[in-house]
Amino acid sequence: MENTAPSLDLFTRLEITLEVRNEAADAFDLFKQDAVMAHAPAPGDEPAITSDDAADAAAGEVDEFSAEVRGLLNDASDADLIGAYEQSGGVVGHPVAEALLGEIKRRGLGL
């Protein structure tokens, strides 16, 4: 069966990726709070999860998010980049607008 659902535009895909990243960051913050409040391990036992484990997990999430954004930007046509940037309103400080502007500048496209 053929998929007839319309595909999402670049701006929307970047917005979704950003939201997923924010949810992961929120979940990680909750994890850190729970870890701090958890009971200490029995004397002589190692903690089940260490702060190094948490740092490694956070770094992995950042790498995964960055790779996904780079992939979306690299695969986008010049017209898609400019259209998505215009859709963002070019708001300074907005992560999607900033990522799009960075890629537009990297490609040497004029606005």
Q: What is the per-residue pLDDT across 24-82, written as a single tens digit (0 to 9) for each? A: 777 777 666 665 555 556 667 666 666 677 677 777 777 888 889 999 999 999 999 99
Amino acid identity, position 26: D
pTM for the whole structure: 0.69
DSSP 40: P
Handedness of CA 90, 96, 99, 104 (dihedral sign): negative
Which two structure tokens, joined as six digits, stand for 4? Answer: 């007839």
Which two structure tokens, joined as six digits, stand for 18? Answer: 């950003």
pLDDT of amino acid 107: 94
Hey, how many other C-beta atoms are within 10 angstroms of the C-beta on 103?
A: 20
pLDDT of amino acid 22: 81
> How far is residue 16's CA from residue 35's CA, in Å, rounded to a whole number?
28
> How far is residue 88's CA from residue 104's CA, in Å, rounded to a whole number?
13
